[in-house]
Amino acid sequence: MPERGLARSLVEAYVYFDLVAGGGSHRAAVEQDEDSWVVRLGGTEVLVPQEAEDVARQAELTFGSGLSELIDPGQWVLIAATYASRALQGALFFAADPSDPEAYGKVEADWLFAADAVAEALKFFPADAAELPPDAFWSEMGRALRESEPHRVTRQKLEGDLAFYRRSLDDFHRLHDR
Protein backbone atom coordinates (compact mmCIF):
# COMPACT_ATOMS: atom_id res chain seq x y z
CA MET A 1 0.00 0.00 0.00
CA PRO A 2 1.42 3.43 -0.92
CA GLU A 3 2.29 5.97 1.76
CA ARG A 4 -0.62 8.44 2.00
CA GLY A 5 -0.66 12.02 3.25
CA LEU A 6 -3.50 14.46 3.74
CA ALA A 7 -3.48 17.86 2.04
CA ARG A 8 -5.70 20.86 2.65
CA SER A 9 -5.76 21.89 -1.01
CA LEU A 10 -4.64 20.67 -4.41
CA VAL A 11 -2.00 23.42 -4.44
CA GLU A 12 -0.54 22.08 -1.19
CA ALA A 13 -0.45 18.56 -2.66
CA TYR A 14 1.44 19.73 -5.75
CA VAL A 15 3.87 21.85 -3.72
CA TYR A 16 4.50 18.83 -1.50
CA PHE A 17 5.40 16.68 -4.51
CA ASP A 18 7.67 19.44 -5.84
CA LEU A 19 9.37 19.50 -2.46
CA VAL A 20 9.84 15.76 -1.97
CA ALA A 21 10.24 14.71 -5.59
CA GLY A 22 12.46 17.54 -6.82
CA GLY A 23 9.91 19.31 -9.00
CA GLY A 24 7.99 16.15 -9.73
CA SER A 25 4.46 17.50 -9.45
CA HIS A 26 4.11 17.63 -13.24
CA ARG A 27 4.48 13.81 -13.26
CA ALA A 28 1.79 13.27 -10.62
CA ALA A 29 -1.42 11.48 -11.55
CA VAL A 30 -4.73 12.78 -10.20
CA GLU A 31 -7.93 10.85 -9.67
CA GLN A 32 -11.16 12.47 -8.54
CA ASP A 33 -14.17 10.83 -6.99
CA GLU A 34 -17.29 12.43 -5.56
CA ASP A 35 -15.70 13.66 -2.32
CA SER A 36 -11.92 13.90 -2.84
CA TRP A 37 -8.90 13.84 -5.09
CA VAL A 38 -5.98 11.43 -4.80
CA VAL A 39 -2.71 12.75 -6.18
CA ARG A 40 -0.12 10.00 -6.80
CA LEU A 41 3.55 10.00 -7.61
CA GLY A 42 5.61 6.84 -7.29
CA GLY A 43 4.83 5.18 -3.99
CA THR A 44 3.27 8.27 -2.45
CA GLU A 45 -0.36 9.34 -2.42
CA VAL A 46 -1.88 12.56 -1.13
CA LEU A 47 -5.58 12.74 -0.38
CA VAL A 48 -7.30 16.12 -0.85
CA PRO A 49 -10.83 16.10 0.54
CA GLN A 50 -13.31 18.08 -1.58
CA GLU A 51 -14.50 19.91 1.54
CA ALA A 52 -10.95 21.09 2.35
CA GLU A 53 -10.41 22.28 -1.23
CA ASP A 54 -13.75 24.12 -1.16
CA VAL A 55 -12.84 25.89 2.09
CA ALA A 56 -9.45 26.90 0.65
CA ARG A 57 -11.03 28.30 -2.51
CA GLN A 58 -13.84 30.14 -0.74
CA ALA A 59 -11.45 31.72 1.78
CA GLU A 60 -8.84 32.36 -0.95
CA LEU A 61 -6.22 30.40 0.99
CA THR A 62 -3.52 29.22 -1.38
CA PHE A 63 -2.44 26.22 0.68
CA GLY A 64 -5.55 25.59 2.78
CA SER A 65 -6.93 26.27 6.23
CA GLY A 66 -5.51 24.97 9.50
CA LEU A 67 -2.08 23.41 9.93
CA SER A 68 -0.35 21.38 7.27
CA GLU A 69 0.19 17.70 8.01
CA LEU A 70 2.46 17.32 4.97
CA ILE A 71 4.88 20.23 5.16
CA ASP A 72 6.59 21.36 8.36
CA PRO A 73 7.47 24.99 9.18
CA GLY A 74 11.10 24.64 8.11
CA GLN A 75 10.00 23.37 4.72
CA TRP A 76 7.52 26.27 4.41
CA VAL A 77 10.40 28.70 5.03
CA LEU A 78 12.43 27.04 2.26
CA ILE A 79 9.43 27.10 -0.08
CA ALA A 80 8.91 30.80 0.63
CA ALA A 81 12.56 31.56 -0.10
CA THR A 82 12.33 29.71 -3.41
CA TYR A 83 9.25 31.64 -4.53
CA ALA A 84 10.78 34.95 -3.40
CA SER A 85 13.95 34.23 -5.37
CA ARG A 86 11.88 33.44 -8.46
CA ALA A 87 9.87 36.65 -7.96
CA LEU A 88 13.00 38.78 -7.67
CA GLN A 89 14.54 37.28 -10.78
CA GLY A 90 11.27 37.45 -12.70
CA ALA A 91 10.74 41.08 -11.71
CA LEU A 92 14.17 42.00 -13.07
CA PHE A 93 13.45 40.35 -16.42
CA PHE A 94 9.97 41.89 -16.50
CA ALA A 95 11.40 45.38 -15.86
CA ALA A 96 13.66 44.91 -18.88
CA ASP A 97 10.70 43.88 -21.07
CA PRO A 98 7.29 44.67 -19.51
CA SER A 99 5.30 43.64 -22.58
CA ASP A 100 4.65 40.03 -21.51
CA PRO A 101 1.43 39.72 -19.46
CA GLU A 102 2.28 36.09 -18.63
CA ALA A 103 5.57 37.19 -17.06
CA TYR A 104 3.69 39.80 -15.00
CA GLY A 105 1.32 37.13 -13.69
CA LYS A 106 4.19 34.80 -12.81
CA VAL A 107 6.01 37.45 -10.76
CA GLU A 108 2.76 38.35 -9.03
CA ALA A 109 2.02 34.70 -8.22
CA ASP A 110 5.56 34.08 -6.96
CA TRP A 111 5.35 37.01 -4.49
CA LEU A 112 1.92 35.85 -3.36
CA PHE A 113 3.09 32.25 -2.88
CA ALA A 114 6.20 33.43 -0.99
CA ALA A 115 4.04 35.43 1.42
CA ASP A 116 1.51 32.62 1.79
CA ALA A 117 4.25 30.06 2.50
CA VAL A 118 5.66 32.25 5.30
CA ALA A 119 2.14 32.62 6.68
CA GLU A 120 1.94 28.82 6.74
CA ALA A 121 5.15 28.60 8.80
CA LEU A 122 3.78 31.21 11.22
CA LYS A 123 0.68 29.07 11.86
CA PHE A 124 2.89 26.59 13.73
CA PHE A 125 3.89 29.07 16.46
CA PRO A 126 2.19 28.71 19.82
CA ALA A 127 0.54 31.97 20.92
CA ASP A 128 3.12 34.59 21.91
CA ALA A 129 6.06 32.19 21.32
CA ALA A 130 9.18 33.70 19.75
CA GLU A 131 10.51 30.32 18.63
CA LEU A 132 9.07 27.01 17.54
CA PRO A 133 9.44 23.88 19.63
CA PRO A 134 11.82 21.27 18.16
CA ASP A 135 9.00 18.77 17.62
CA ALA A 136 7.34 21.17 15.15
CA PHE A 137 9.99 20.06 12.64
CA TRP A 138 9.36 16.48 11.50
CA SER A 139 11.05 16.44 8.10
CA GLU A 140 14.77 16.00 7.58
CA MET A 141 14.78 19.20 5.54
CA GLY A 142 12.98 21.19 8.23
CA ARG A 143 15.17 19.88 11.06
CA ALA A 144 18.32 20.63 9.05
CA LEU A 145 17.22 24.23 8.52
CA ARG A 146 16.41 24.67 12.21
CA GLU A 147 19.79 23.25 13.24
CA SER A 148 21.93 25.10 10.69
CA GLU A 149 20.09 28.45 10.55
CA PRO A 150 17.83 28.74 13.61
CA HIS A 151 17.43 32.51 13.10
CA ARG A 152 15.42 31.82 9.90
CA VAL A 153 12.61 30.12 11.82
CA THR A 154 11.92 32.70 14.53
CA ARG A 155 8.66 34.60 14.73
CA GLN A 156 10.47 37.93 14.33
CA LYS A 157 12.31 36.82 11.17
CA LEU A 158 9.21 35.28 9.61
CA GLU A 159 7.02 38.29 10.36
CA GLY A 160 9.70 40.46 8.75
CA ASP A 161 9.83 38.19 5.70
CA LEU A 162 6.04 38.23 5.41
CA ALA A 163 5.97 42.04 5.49
CA PHE A 164 8.81 42.23 2.93
CA TYR A 165 7.11 39.82 0.50
CA ARG A 166 3.78 41.64 0.75
CA ARG A 167 5.45 45.03 0.33
CA SER A 168 7.40 43.70 -2.66
CA LEU A 169 4.16 42.56 -4.30
CA ASP A 170 2.59 45.96 -3.62
CA ASP A 171 5.67 47.69 -5.05
CA PHE A 172 5.57 45.49 -8.14
CA HIS A 173 1.92 46.43 -8.70
CA ARG A 174 2.65 50.10 -8.13
CA LEU A 175 5.69 50.18 -10.42
CA HIS A 176 3.93 48.40 -13.25
CA ASP A 177 0.49 49.96 -12.72
CA ARG A 178 -1.68 46.91 -13.34
In tens, the pLDDT along 28-76 reads 889 999 899 999 888 889 999 999 999 999 999 999 999 999 999 999 9
HSE-CB for 142 with a 13 A CA cutoff: 21
pLDDT tens, 119-177? Answer: 999 999 999 999 999 999 999 999 999 999 999 999 999 999 999 999 999 999 999 97
Q: Are residues 18 and 76 in contact, defined by beta-carbon separation less than 8 angstroms?
A: no
pTM for the complete prediction?
A: 0.93
Residue 47: phi and psi, rounded to 5, are: -95, 130
Rg of the chain on CA atoms, in Å: 17
Give the pLDDT score at 102: 94
CA distance 62 to 73: 16
Run of H or E including 82: helix 73-96
Q: Are residues 29 and 40 in contact, defined by beta-carbon separation less than 8 angstroms?
A: yes
Give the pLDDT score at 41: 87
pLDDT tens, 92-119? Answer: 999 999 988 899 999 999 999 999 999 9
Q: Are residues 1 and 16 in contact, defined by beta-carbon separation less than 8 angstroms?
A: no
